[in-house]
């Protein structure tokens, strides 16, 4: 159990610290654990185009950016396959066959899709491609026979439905994967620096992996905290305070030993803040130290890799080629099961 993993990102912008704690960091751990036979990390450009079909240049430009983010975080092409979705055409073909197995009503009811339709203001003119992206996501996962998917639980029902229906109708062919949920809750939803629930480029509330040290510092020192914590002596709230939520996701006891030895760990720091007598500036300076230490090696590696974009593109080309060979095997099985292998 648990030997093939697939996950990915839409290339619509550079990746930020939310991606890092929510998934990138964990992917590298999984990759280096030796527990996985194969790992596939996909730059989901075809999916990005479902709501950016009018911005092809943006998607194109971000292929390299996302690849740089992956590599600089430690995704290693010698251990993992990095692929570009549009260059594995088998994924599109699988999507077409899977579309027979789900109803329009079911897609429209999908909570994630529903929320995203609202967010994008599609209202009643929803592009078909966008509406069906959960189907294409099922193709991505099943194409590589992945048995582990680190996704939100909300996407799982669609995947299960399609896989079960396929196997029921055409015989046991596809693997039904299980979701891998992160062990640290705080990492699932890192808020924006402004306290808004999500980090988003348009809100300007993200800390990017590629940000330089001054940018990181400025963003941290300007972070939203508890609005009722006006005086240092006031008791403060750490529960929905982004500065503490970031610390939950990033800091370790060693960071305290290095940068804030008056406290042994985050619980002690939180207790002081809640009691009153601890100023925001002190906490933010600590968070800045923690983030700088975490991001520095990533940034350095990124700058190094960015000097040779052709080499990075070559990694993607090779990865996509290798991934295509895998997906072709699945497509053959699918076509055989569906009795469309006339010339075999």
Residues that bind ligand TRP (CB under 6 A): 6-10, 44, 47, 137, 140-141, 149, 151
b/e code 265-275 from CB counts within 10 Å (16+ = b): ebeebbebbbe
Min dist CB 45 to ligand TRP, Å, is 10
CB of 262 to ligand TRP, least distance (A): 40
Structure tokens at 330: 């699945």
Provide the 10 A C-beta neighbour count for residue 198. 13
Q: Which is nearer to ligand TRP, 151 or 295 (CB)?
A: 151
Minimum CB–partner distance for residue 159 and ligand TRP (Å): 9
C-alpha 136/C-alpha 45 separation (Å) is 12
Q: Which is nearer to ligand TRP, 2 or 279 (CB)?
A: 2
Residue 59 or 151: which CB sits closer to ligand TRP? 151
The distance of closest approach from Cβ of residue 294 to ligand TRP in the complex, given in angstroms and rounded to an integer, is 22
Q: Residue 222: how many CB atoms within 10 A of its CB?
A: 10
Q: Contacts from 252-260 at CB under 8 Å and sequence distance 24+?
A: 255/286, 255/289, 255/290, 255/293, 258/289, 258/293, 259/286, 259/289, 259/290, 260/286
CA 96 – CA 153 distance, rounded (Å): 24
Q: In 19-129, which ranges are E strands?
A: 38-43, 81-84
- Closer by beta carbon to ligand TRP, 19 or else 255: 19
Q: In whole angstroms, how close is the CB of 239 to ligand TRP at the nearest point?
A: 28
Closest CB to ligand TRP among 180 and 221? 180
Give the residue nearest to ligand TRP (CB): 44
């Amino acid at each position: 159990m648990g030997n093939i993993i697939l996950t990915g990102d839409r290339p619509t912008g550079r990746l930020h610290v939310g991606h890092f704690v929510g998934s990138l960091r964990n992917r590298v751990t999984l990759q280096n654990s030796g527990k996985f036979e194969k790992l596939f990390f996909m730059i989901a450009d075809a999916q990005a185009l479902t709501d950016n079909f009018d911005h092809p240049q943006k998607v194109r430009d971000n292929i390299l950016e996302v690849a740089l983010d992956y590599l600089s975080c430690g995704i290693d092409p010698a251990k993992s396959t990095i692929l570009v979705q549009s260059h594995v055409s088998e994924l599109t073909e699988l999507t077409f066959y899977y579309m027979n197995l789900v109803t329009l009503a079911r897609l429209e009811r999908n909570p994630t899709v529903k929320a995203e339709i609202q967010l994008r203001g599609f209202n009643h003119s929803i592009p078909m491609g966008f509406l069906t992206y959960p189907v294409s996501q099922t193709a991505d996962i099943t194409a590589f026979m992945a048995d582990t998917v680190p996704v939100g639980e909300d996407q799982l029902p669609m995947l299960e439905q399609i896989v079960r229906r396929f196997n029921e109708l055409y015989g046991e062919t596809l693997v039904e994967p299980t979701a891998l949920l992160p062990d640290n809750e705080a990492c699932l939803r890192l808020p924006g620096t402004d306290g808004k629930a999500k980090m988003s480029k348009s809100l300007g509330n993200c800390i990017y992996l590629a940000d330089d040290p001054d940018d990181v510092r400025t963003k941290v020192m300007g972070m939203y905290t508890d609005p009722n914590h006006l005086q240092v002596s006031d008791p403060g709230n750490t529960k929905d305070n982004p500065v503490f939520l970031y610390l939950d996701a990033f800091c370790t006891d060693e960071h305290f030993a290095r940068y804030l030895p008056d406290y042994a760990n985050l619980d002690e720091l939180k207790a002081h803040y809640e009691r009153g007598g601890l100023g925001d500036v002190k906490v933010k300076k600590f968070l800045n130290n923690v983030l700088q230490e975490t991001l520095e090696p990533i940034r350095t590696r990124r700058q190094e890799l960015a000097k040779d974009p052709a080499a990075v593109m070559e990694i993607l080309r090779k990865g996509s080629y290798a991934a295509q060979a895998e997906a072709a095997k699945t497509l053959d099985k699918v076509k055989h099961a569906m009795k469309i292998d006339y010339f075999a």
